[in-house]
A = this chain, B = another copy of it.
């Protein structure tokens, strides 16, 4: 068996493999501040590319960006009963506004009359502003998005997947009618689906969350759910129909077209730096990170292979002109991004470094390649032994097509993986076996997604969770399309076939 760059491999220990990939690609690390991560330059540039693509999609659908305060007065949180219940247990509370030296130590001073919470999400503070901005139906809809940091005090954290502070976007919209708000909720869910599939190459199932998994205060919560390579589900984005709950809590009232005072209908929707975790667990392999070309900060690494000064005189100009020729090519509406890595280090190590970072293409260029007017190409979606030589001009002319092919290959591969680990299950014993690890030491290895009937009784959902740590990840929009069935747990008549899985 060939050696891999990441130890342990996915097969050997999935959670440790994940940490090792993050480390090897230099994406992020834990900070000395409890639960908070440092997003390192390569990881942050992934976020910049996610932001840029999503932001364009938000603007195309009529949204504008704005910025609201980091702090929320405690009394605002109190206004929506389920909301406070959902967030009060895990929030950072600001109680003082200065520090003073006492016995050689800094202690808090200047107690606030009302404590402030560092926003875990901004429905309440944004609702307060919308209540001021909206008087008439003419002021609607409001279609605003915010890029921001949020804080939820987490006891068990994991880089990108669950951290106390994380970066996200939160859309908050207000509408005249329930129908319009629902349309918006579904539109943004679809924006997330398209982004996940077309940019991240991460296939997702869209559908509604069961009541037990709803956003605190929402009437309906929809999500995109992806399967990771340990077959667990990752909730990668949510879109909430909030009905009039938050409008009532914040007082977002308007004069309707009929001259009647009504409460607005609101929505909220968000994705976060968790997406980077999803990208890792969808595409990375035992050699490290794999970045889908459409979100790659750099598409090609050009590595000159030089042993002598004589070789340098030949190789460097060739590599520079190659890089220039590649940069003149256009992929996905932007110039191909090339890094010419001239650092003085071992050629093999250097090549492996880019492999571990997940750059789509690595070109190794030595005197022999130059003699043949060719390039030696490593595609990150293929194995190390599948590197190939290619005519230089042909490579330059086809670089965009190669990246395009990689993007499609990654999606197809992820789709095939998900399909291979998804089963329609109608029998409880099969269901139990599907979710029971074959090996007690490797609890992460289990079946995947089960498509099974559910009677819609929360008690069945809870029992399954208690017994197998399996939950309903989503009720797909076509859940009713499979005819009647029997609930996988209680056997009673059931109408909906839903997606069960273990989850992050």
Contact = CB atoms under 8 A, between A and B. Distances in A.
Interface of A: 31-33, 36-41, 44-45, 47-48, 64-75, 77-78, 84, 88-101, 105-108, 110, 115-118, 125, 128-129, 144, 148-149, 151, 153, 165, 167
B128 A106 contact: no
B98 A88 contact: yes
A91 B96 CA distance: 8
Nearest to A74: B106
Q: Give chain A's interface secondary structure class.
A: strand
A75 B118 CA distance: 21
A91 B94 CA distance: 10
In this complex, which of A36, A44, A67, A105 has the most chain B Cβ atoms within 10 angstroms of its Cβ?
A67
B31 A68 contact: yes
A69 B31 contact: yes
Given A67-B39, A71-B165, A90 B98 contact: yes
Contact of A97 (B31, B37, B93, B97): B93
Given A38-B129, A44-B67, A106-B88, A97 B153 contact: yes
A99 B74 contact: yes
Contacts of A92: 71, 94, 96-97, 116
B153 A70 contact: no
B97 A165 contact: no
A338 to B, nearest CB: 15
A95 B107 CA distance: 10
B65 A48 contact: yes
Contacts of A125: 31-33
Given A125-B31, A165-B70, A95 B98 contact: no
Copies of this chain present in the complex amount to 2
A353 to B, nearest CB: 14
B94 A106 contact: no
B91 A93 contact: no
Contact of A91 (B74, B99, B105): B99
In this complex, which of A39, A68, A90, A93 has the most chain B Cβ atoms within 10 angstroms of its Cβ?
A93
13 contacts: A31-B69, A32-B128, A38-B66, A41-B65, A48-B65, A70-B118, A70-B165, A74-B99, A92-B94, A93-B96, A94-B95, A107-B115, A149-B149
Given A45-B64, A78-B106, A33 B116 contact: yes
Nearest to A150: B70
A48 B63 CA distance: 14
Contacts of A71: 33, 36, 92, 165
A33 B95 contact: no
Contacts of A36: 69-71
Contacts of A117: 99
A99 to B, nearest CB: 4
Contacts of A77: 99, 106
Contacts of A148: 149
The 5 tightest CB contacts between A and B, nearest first, are A36-B69, A41-B64, A88-B99, A39-B67, A93-B96
A22 to B, nearest CB: 14
A355 to B, nearest CB: 20
B31 A45 contact: no
A125 B500 CA distance: 42
Contacts of A118: 70, 94, 118
Contacts of A107: 115
A72 B33 contact: yes
Nearest to A98: B89
Given A33-B125, A44-B67, A91-B98, 14 more contacts: A31-B69, A33-B116, A38-B68, A38-B129, A39-B66, A41-B66, A44-B66, A70-B149, A71-B165, A88-B99, A88-B106, A92-B97, A93-B97, A94-B94
Contacts of A149: 70, 148-149
A75 to B, nearest CB: 8
Contacts of A75: 106
A330 to B, nearest CB: 16
A108 to B, nearest CB: 4
A91 B97 contact: yes
